[in-house]
Amino acid sequence: DADVTQTPRNRITKTGKRIMLECSQTKGHDRMYWYRQDPGLGLRLIYYSFDVKDINKGEISDGYSVSRQAQAKFSLSLESAIPNQTALYFCATSQGWETQYFGPGTRLLVL
């Protein structure tokens, strides 16, 4: 959905490097999410935020941190990247419990 953008779309980094993935949305939604997708495992929730002052851990938050800079922006950081964090990362937004709208994804490779 073009209303949810992610940057970068692709990234290659080395073990131990810090990396930030950014997400912006123009839908005016309060809720934002970060997921990672691995083959055969579907999507797993990393962090979610229900408003600017609210940050919650998801199923697999270890090794990640997030920042909700504004209603429209939610960034995901890997403080010290490791190879098993190689995955496809998706940002999503929603208004309440309704439909989640996903960004196009960021493909991350950690060498």
Partner 1 sequence: LAKTTQPISMDSYEGQEVNITCSHNNIATNDYITWYQQFPSQGPRFIIQGYKTKVTNEVASLFIPADRKSSTLSLPRVSLSDTAVYYCLVVTSDNYGQNFVFGPGTRLSVLP
Report DSSP state, residue 41.
Answer: T
Site string for partner 1, 46-85 (x = CB under 8 A): --x-------x-xx--------------------------
Smallest distance from the beta carbon of 51 to partner 1, in angstroms?
Answer: 13
Pairing of strands 87-94, 31-38: antiparallel
The per-residue DSSP string of 42-86 comes to EEEEEEEEEETTEEEE-TT-TT-EEEEEETTEEEEEESS--GGG-
Q: Does 101 bind partner 1 (CB under 8 A)?
A: yes
Q: Give the binding range for partner 1 (CB under 8 A) out of 22-30, 63-71, 79-87, 100-108.
A: 100-108
The binding site for partner 1 (CB under 8 A) comprises 1, 4, 33, 35, 40-45, 48, 56, 58-59, 90, 92, 97-105
